[in-house]
Structure 1
Amino acid sequence: MALVSLAFSVCVMIVCWPQLSSSDNSCPCPEIPKLNLTNLPQQGCFKIGDIFRYKCKDGYLRQVGTSNLIRCNDRGAVPQWSEPWLVCIRDPRITTTQPPKATRATTTESRTDISHYSISTSAITSWK
Structure 2
Amino acid sequence: MELIFLLLWAMLRSGEATGHGNGKCPAPHYIEFAEIIIDRVMLGSKGRYKCEDGYKRTIGESNLIVCINDTGLIRWTTKTSVCTRVSMATSQQSERKPQSSAPENPVTIVPSDTAGYCGIPSPVEHATPTMTHYAVGQELHYKCLRGYDARPPTSDISTCKEESGKIFWTRLSLLCTNDSKSGEEMTQPIPITDTSEPSHVPPVMLHVCTATSELSHVPSVMLPVTVAVSTVFPIIFILLGWIIVPKLWRRRSFTEEVKTEKTKSILITAARVEMESEVEAHRLKSNM
The normalised TM-score by structure 1 is 0.46
Using CA pairs below 8 Å that are at least 6 residues apart, which structure has the higher relative contact order?
2
- More strand per residue: 2
The normalised TM-score by structure 2 is 0.26
- More helix per residue: 2
